[in-house]
Structure 1
């Protein structure tokens, strides 16, 4: 896997929770129980990381990189899958992960956002 740093990177973000869903054979990354990323495989068992992005950002990335495709088994407008054996630059992947985290965090109530961003 080219992006073995993803797990550590995401778990350093405030409020991120991780679990494994056996029936999906996937590791999920969530904030307060709402998923923004998932590592699993496609129907051939090829390792992918699926994340939620703003539709226009996701489309631009899919148009730019062959290893970013519409979200596998997800809403194709909002979710995008990255092939983990691909060659998307690390800085682009980090930006995608940051965007996915922010998309979900910004969808939560202002109170919850503040609790996560400014823990006591």
Structure 2
């Protein structure tokens, strides 16, 4: 997987904006101004995604490249160091999960506006 594939997948989601609020080498994706993914532009690819706490533990136990979120709340965030052992589908599922957690945390009216985009 290349960073461009990850980027294209993230921006294809409804209501997503990308920015560099922290540094020139950390790409941030937000929905309704709430972060759901932070990606390092350094190689190899690594990114942080929000995760249900129970699911986060399962993913960490199952995949050596999934660790508690670097510089994040380790209960709710995972850092994924992509080394080729996770499939693109698995990565996209983690992104979907993160996006959906953030979307579901928004007020219903905002969720409806985003879903209508």
Which residue pairs with 1:29 in the alignment? 29
1:89 positional shift: 1.6
| Contact residue 3 and residue 90 of structure 1 kept, 8 A | no
| Contact residue 49 and residue 78 of structure 2 kept, 8 A | yes
Counterpart selection for 1:88 from 74, 86, 89 = 86
* Structure-1 separation of matches of 2:96 and 2:45: 20
1:118 positional shift: 1.2
* Structure-1 separation of matches of 2:90 and 2:37: 16
| Contact residue 39 and residue 46 of structure 2 kept, 8 A | yes
> What are the residue-to-residue correspondences of 1:1-120 with 2, within 5 Å?
2-4=1-3, 5-23=5-23, 25-40=25-40, 47-119=45-117
How large is the Cα RMSD of the aligned pairs? 1.9
| Contact residue 3 and residue 84 of structure 1 kept, 8 A | no
How many pairs align? 116
1:36-89 deviation line (CA, Å, top 9, x unaligned)? 1100279xx754100101111111111000001000010100000000234212
| Contact residue 40 and residue 49 of structure 1 kept, 8 A | yes
Q: Structure 1: any 5+ residue segments left out of the alignment?
A: none
Deviates more, 1:101-110 or 1:27-36: 27-36
